[in-house]
Amino acid sequence: MLGSASAQLSNEEMPRRNIKLTSLFSKVEDSLKHEFKAKGLEWPARYMFIRSFKYEKQLEVWVKNQWNEPFRMFKIYKVCASSGTFGPKRREGDRQIPEGFYYINEFKPNSNYHLALGINYPNASDQLLSDPNKPGGEIYIHGNCVTVGCLPLTDSLIEQVYHLASVVRNQGQDFIPVHIYPHRFDHPASRQAFLQKTQTKPDVQQFSTQLHTAYDFFEDTHLLPAILIDHKGGYVVATDPQAPKVQRVKIIEPQSPKDPYEAVSLEEKPDVVPLPKNGNAALQKWLFQLSNELIPFLEGRSSVSVQVEFIVDSEGNTKLVRILKGGTASMNPRITERFERELKWTPALKSNKAVQVRMKQNINIAAPEDL
């Protein structure tokens, strides 16, 4: 990507930067404050940590307000384009997204890619292990959804990440760490894909083991390990065995393969199907309001379609709600709770007797940039 490796802006850039960022951040900050409040986070954050996963095409943002406290997840953003494959970047033109431990070293408000945050590739490890003459460089988290070795987001999403990074920098965080992994090490499908694609590349597999230790430590503590580099360029991850453990964040909400309705007496062919207690127009209005309330839980995805399955019992109550597909780990409990508490029906009938039936309902949640 284009741009200087320097974190400083020229005198000519400063006026344009101020005008552009003032305009952008006036609309972005209100949205961020709303999302922070919805997730029980304190605004403004003082510290920020970024993780990205190449296979999953995700970029996580974690925040906290005290140096010695664990990070808390803010949001998962979708990386909307990628290049290269598993393994670290080792030379100019290899199209590889780097893997390893970096930090933000440049704020570029006038990027050709909307906004851009520079990553300090090549770091000290890369300088020892990459092509000594042409290791490559100019790696960014940026907008415009195109890439040759960078981490692109949609323009509206990079506005959020850029603004958060600016906020914590203004709060005094000079180095915003960025960890880039080949995949989520504790996800079996991701792990299997990695092993299959790297079975003839033992060097790539060996390199990933250096990253795995840091991944596990953060997953178990939500604290950052100390990262050292040995004389050959290898990463040495120094962890604190006394660090208090925390519950790992579930990124994908698993679904039980067992049918939860197996023991429930259901009528598959009622004479009269359930109808919304207050009419279909009221149901559609309720679904629309719910979808808008769920926007802060999108976790970086531009839009989500959620399929909900539930039981309407013989008294017209909504019970045993489950998510068949879609949604997120933070969003889905809110959906199930709202369905069970608020949706009422006229019961289904079979031979003029109220019966229990299974129903499905879709909810479409669109982020503001998709509206």
Cα(188)–Cα(298) distance, rounded to whole angstroms? 24
Cα(244)–Cα(246) distance, rounded to whole angstroms? 7
Please report whether residue 2 resides in a domain: no
Please report whether residue 243 resides in a domain: no
Please report whether residue 30 resides in a domain: yes
- The pLDDT value recorded for residue 16 is 56
Please report whether residue 6 resides in a domain: no
Total tally of structural domains belonging to the chain: 2
Helix (H, G, I), strand (E, B) or coil at 309: strand
CA distance readout (Å), 257 to 107, 271, 352: 47, 30, 34
What are the per-10-residue average pLDDT scores of the chain (371 residues)?
39 55 77 90 96 94 95 91 88 91 94 91 94 90 83 89 95 96 92 93 95 96 95 92 86 54 81 92 92 79 80 92 83 90 94 92 72 37
Q: Are residues 213 and 306 in the same domain?
A: no
- The pLDDT value recorded for residue 20 is 55
Which structural domain, as residue segments, surrounds residue 75?
Answer: 13-238
Instruction: Give this prediction's pTM.
Output: 0.66
Please report whether residue 222 resides in a domain: yes
Cα(5)–Cα(136) distance, rounded to whole angstroms? 12
Q: Determine if the peptide bond prior to 347 is cis (ω within 30°).
A: no
CATH number of domain containing 301 = 3.30.1150
In the chain, the DSSP E strands lie at 47-53, 58-64, 72-78, 100-108, 116-119, 139-142, 151-152, 177-181, 226-229, 235-238, 275-276, 303-312, 318-325, 345-346, 348-350, 353-355, 357-366
- The pLDDT value recorded for residue 4 is 33
Contact 121, 102 (CB under 8 A): yes
Q: Are residues 194 and 279 in the same domain?
A: no
CATH number of domain containing 34 = 2.40.440.10
CA distance readout (Å), 70 to 119, 140, 221, 270: 23, 26, 7, 53
- The pLDDT value recorded for residue 13 is 53
Q: Are residues 94 and 23 in the same domain?
A: yes
Final residue before a domain boundary, out of 238, 253, 283:
238
Q: Are residues 292 and 227 in the same domain?
A: no
Q: Are residues 182 and 36 in the same domain?
A: yes
Q: Are residues 106 and 200 in the same domain?
A: yes
Final residue before a domain boundary, out of 189, 215, 238:
238
- The pLDDT value recorded for residue 22 is 74
Could you count the other beta carbons within 10 Å of the beta carbon of residue 72?
A: 17
Q: Are residues 326 and 214 in the same domain?
A: no
Please report whether residue 260 resides in a domain: no
Q: Are residues 59 and 199 in the same domain?
A: yes
Please report whether residue 4 resides in a domain: no
Q: Are residues 172 and 288 in the same domain?
A: no
Cα(136)–Cα(129) distance, rounded to whole angstroms? 12
Q: Are residues 152 and 280 in the same domain?
A: no
Contact 363, 329 (CB under 8 A): no
Please report whether residue 145 resides in a domain: yes
Q: Are residues 282 and 223 in the same domain?
A: no
CA dihedral 199, 201, 204, 208 (to 10 degrees): 20
Final residue before a domain boundary, out of 177, 210, 238:
238
Q: Are residues 224 and 362 in the same domain?
A: no
- The pLDDT value recorded for residue 18 is 62
Q: Where are the alpha helices (DSSP H) in the chain?
A: 13-38, 124-129, 155-170, 188-197, 202-221, 280-293, 332-342
Comparing CA positions, the residue from 345, 353, 309 lying closest to residue 327 is 309
